[in-house]
Amino acid sequence: MVLSDHSPLTRSDLRNVTSTAGVPLGVSADVRLSLLDRSRTRAGEPDAAALRHTVERARWAEQLGYHRFWVAEHHAVPGIASGSPPVLMAAVAASTETIRVGSGGIMLPNHQPLIVAEQFAMLQALFPDRIDLGVGRSLGFTPPVRRALRQDRNAPDTFADDLTELRGYLDGRGDVTARPTLERPVPVFVLATGSGLAVAGDAGLPVVVGGPILHSDELPDRLDDYRSRVRATGGVPYVMVSVDVLVADSVGAARELALPEAWALAAARTTGAFPALEPVATDRPLTERQRDVVESAIGRTVYGDQATVSTELAELFDRTGADELLASTSTFDREALRESDTRLAGIVG
């Protein structure tokens, strides 16, 4: 099936799709599958290894048939090597041939809209019709990082205006012309964890939904409101859901894969520093608060064997009506991560 980039997708009976191995799959083949890689660092390795692994993972994602491969923007975070999405996207796109490459996302408060437009116009010119621009509104995680980025947490929220300005440059309607000029503009997506849904809807743009809002009882109503706003602009709603997904031989094995990321989050919540991934250790000492954070993080992760994951994803897609899954997954063991990506491609796609 060939689909245009923003065409509405139909979902047949989600629970009747079956894999070649006879495992009931929870998600229709019409639903797209993509990856978000944050270039997670690993204990005992230099940051550069994380970036090389991101490029390597993009190549195998392309071979597995993933639709998109997105990279992230984080500044001065010890556990994440990706601080410049356009640079990393160029490396990924140059090392692949067909997979779409994008940002999940560019944080507009950190950049001038014209600069973002120029960067992505250049990427689009070099890699035609393969570039996506996902934009968000997050600031730096800590006060020192925000100061380094020249950000004031109490400054007025100009995200909607910055988004309008950015799109003007990409569409050739800006006060100045962003170059190189393009025959077709770069597709823009809005990353939303709350109020961004309304901004995306009023702009008539596709939306990427992730974080705690995915588990909120209000989400279906918020998505209905988003879709109504998009239709009011004459656009077509498009919803991507972003969630951590890990697939292994068993639920227990998949839970072990989720532990390194959960431990890192627990360390960040209790020490203020988000560390590199570490290997699983059964005797790892944790405080009561850290155990609570670990269990909460694992509870937000979709993990298990293929049957378990397919059922959970079916429920997620039933509840959200989403058109695409953006799996934002990491673990310490790279081979296990590759196997998880392979198993996930067998469930969705």
Query: pLDDT-derived band of residue 349, with 50, 70 and 90 as boundaries?
Result: low
List the one residue out of 178, 205, 187, 306 whose CA is nearest residue 246.
306
Number of domains in the chain: 1
305-332 confidence digits (pLDDT tens): 999 999 999 999 999 999 999 999 899 9
Give, for 121, the enclosing helix (H) or strand (E): helix 113-126
The answer to whether position 214 is within a domain reads yes
In a domain, residue 333? The reply is yes
Res 16: pLDDT: 33
* Domain contains 264: no
Instruction: Indicate the pTM of the whole model.
Output: 0.89
pLDDT higher than 70, residue 32: yes
Say whether pLDDT at 156 is over 90: no
Banded model confidence at residue 258, pLDDT cuts 50, 70, 90: very high
Q: How far apart are CA 125 and CA 67, in angstroms?
A: 20
199: containing domain: 27-244+316-347
Strands (E), the chain: 17-18, 24-25, 32-37, 68-71, 100-107, 131-136, 188-192, 207-210, 239-243, 245-247, 302-304, 324-327
Find the mean pLDDT for residues 260-270.
Answer: 91
Average pLDDT over the chain reads 88
Residue 6: the pLDDT is: 33
As a whole number of angstroms, the distance between CA 144 and CA 191 comes to 24
| Confidence grade of residue 282 (pLDDT, cut at 50, 70, 90) | low
Comparing 37-46, 82-91, 131-140, 246-255, the range with the smallest average pLDDT is 131-140
3-class SS of residue 303: strand
Between CA 137 and CA 118 the distance in angstroms is: 19
325 within some domain? yes
pLDDT over 80 (residue 135) = yes
Token pair for 333: 């063991």
184 Cα distance to chain centroid: 24
* Average confidence (pLDDT) over 89-101: 98
The more confidently predicted of residues 150 and 169 is 169
- Rounded to the nearest 5°, which phi and psi values hold at 174? -75, 170
Looking up residue 334, the CATH number of its domain turns out to be: 3.20.20.30
Residue 215 banded pLDDT, cuts 50, 70, 90: confident
